Amino acid sequence: MDGKDIVSDSSPGLKKEASGLNRLREQIIRCRQCPRLVRWREQVARDKKASYSSEVYWGRPVPGWGDSQAKIVVVGLAPGAHGANRTGRMFTGDESGRWLYRALWRAGWASQAESVNREDGLKLNDVWITAPVKCAPPTNRPTVKERDACSGFFDRELGLLPRAKVYLALGGFGFAAVSRYFALRPKPKFGHGVEVQLSEGRWLVGSYHVSQQNTFTGRLTETMLDEVMRRVGVRAGLSPRSR
């Protein structure tokens, strides 16, 4: 197991939480519960993209990563076939990740503006990044059965992040997953910039996903993403650290 993506404090109580996340990480990486997803992630890792032909793909489930004391939890959809499925770290190695980490860096929550691989030295402060589905799905579309099979991991993960104040959902899939976790009734409607109060001092915030489908078409701009990050920081009670 590569534990470098877990950032934690040295105090005993915080070490215990980081340890729980590390144990969960080990279980996620070993999972082979969904045959279709196992076949696809491994096929992509064998066939590779031409531009990455010399690289060894991760080809396994991708656990969340970041600051175990995070006040902000970023929730996507699933690993990208040639991004996280290649690098082994969420939102790392593809265009979506470039958009996300640039925004986190501008907000002051990432140590650098780019995430290339698990050994690139990037550290997150006050942020944890995850997805409800841990394996790359064909056409980026997990089935309901696959989503539900992974929900145990996702629910345990959120439970191991007790200091979280804001859940930033990138896209409707992540927004719905957080809504299910908190058993919201009636189910809130996803939208860019939508804010839903979960409890006193705890919020769900929606943003368009940082997918190429949204960023290349201008549906999501860096200005829009920065504004969402600003509002998330306010809701999380973090002091402005914009660059």
Q: What is the pLDDT of residues 97-147, one digit of tens each?
A: 999 999 999 999 999 999 999 999 999 999 999 999 999 999 999 999 999
Q: Which range of residues forms the domain containing residue 114?
A: 6-236
Where does 31-125 have alpha helices with state H? 35-47, 84-87, 95-107
What's the CA gap between 155 and 153, in Å, rounded? 6
Q: How far, CA to CA in Å, does 118 sit from each of 2, 84, 111, 201, 226?
A: 9, 10, 14, 33, 25
Q: Report if residue 106 sits inside a domain.
A: yes
- CATH of residue 16's domain is 3.40.470.10
Q: DSSP string spanning 192-211?
A: TT-EEEEETTEEEEEE----
Which pLDDT does position 14 carry in this prediction? 59
Q: Is residue 242 assigned to a domain? A: no
Inside any domain, residue 186: yes
Give how many domains the chain has, as a whole number: 1
Does residue 243 lie in a domain region?
Answer: no
Any domain includes 142: yes
Q: What would the pLDDT profile of 21-33 be if each residue is shown by its tens digit?
A: 999 999 999 999 9
Residue 29's closest CA among 92, 100, 89, 101? Answer: 89
Q: Is there a domain that residue 82 lies in?
A: yes
Indicate the pTM of the whole model.
0.94
241 domain-assigned: no
User: Residue 1 falls within a domain, yes or no?
Assistant: no
Q: Which of 65, 102, 113, 58 is nearest to 80 (CA)?
A: 58
